[in-house]
Amino acid sequence: MRFDILTLFPEMFSSPFQESILAKAIEKGLIEVRTINIRDFALDKHQVVDDAPYGGGQGMVMKVEPIARAIEQVKMENPSAWTVYLTPEGKPLNQEIIKELSSRSHLILLCGRYEGVDERVRQLFVDEEISIGDYVLTGGELAAMVLIDTVSRLVPGVLGSDKSAEEDSFFGSLLEYPQYTRPASFRNHEVPEVLLSGNHQAISLWRREESLRRTWLRRPELLNKASLSEEDKKILEEIIQNKS
């Protein structure tokens, strides 16, 4: 899977992909991350990439020509690359969208700065607009990193086993159950007995119950779209009745 990041600040991307899982994925050739400096595509000798908004108002707007030329260069290599503009006005990112994006082989990620991009960039060159949450970042760069991280971990081979991604919170629309590791006792806080029992069936049941409990307590709205078995529904009823 390939990511081309269009940004005015390529240096921001130097360290996030040099550590841990993503660094290994790049080394193995499972993902490829390239940064493209939009400024290199400016038309004038001062390499101007922004200008005052028509109609007046605060701030600067990113000009259409440098962005158009940068996207067109990538598209010349691969016409089917999918262009995503990171903006708080985009669709809120969730695991479903991440899964869809992970099925594409080449994403162009456009990072805005200032007061955003000239509207014609969006009309002519952008396939999809994505927001990572209802707050405003100083630019799209951090959002692009979030997107690359979340999409990459769904690329086959990037995580240790494909199973780890399937067990994630949100895959089945439930939050994850609590996890413990050694020691079994820490400052009088014990690991739940059942996890030490070796009884795999009992452990599975306990985990399902804890997932349901946690989801109900923290994110009850997720239960509406979760796929629940008849047994899940019974467990949930008990949890709700006991209110814990």
Q: Is 7 in the site for ligand ADE (CB under 6 A)?
A: no
Residue 153 annotated as catalytic: yes
Residues 47-86 that bind ligand ADE (CB under 6 A): 86
168 is catalytic: yes
Smaller CB separation from ligand ADE, 66 or 88? 88
Catalytic (active site) residue 115:
yes
- Closest approach of ligand ADE to the CB of residue 92, in Å: 9
The count of other CB atoms within 10 Å of the CB of residue 188 is 5
144 neighbors 86 (Cβ within 8 angstroms): yes
Could you say which of 88, 122, 210, 213 is catalytic?
88
Tokens of 48: 């101007």
Candidate list 2, 39, 104, 115, residue with the active-site label: 115
Report, in Å, the least distance between residue 148 CB and ligand ADE. 13
Which residue lies nearer to ligand ADE by CB, 10 or 174?
A: 10
Show contacts with ligand ADE in window 121-140 (CB under 6 A).
131-133, 135-137, 140
Query: 4 forms bridges with which residues in the sheet?
Result: 34, 108
Binding of ligand ADE at residue 88 (CB under 6 A)? yes
Q: Toward ligand ADE, which CB reaches closer, 10 or 88?
A: 88
Chain residues in the site for ligand ADE (CB under 6 A): 86-88, 131-133, 135-137, 140, 143
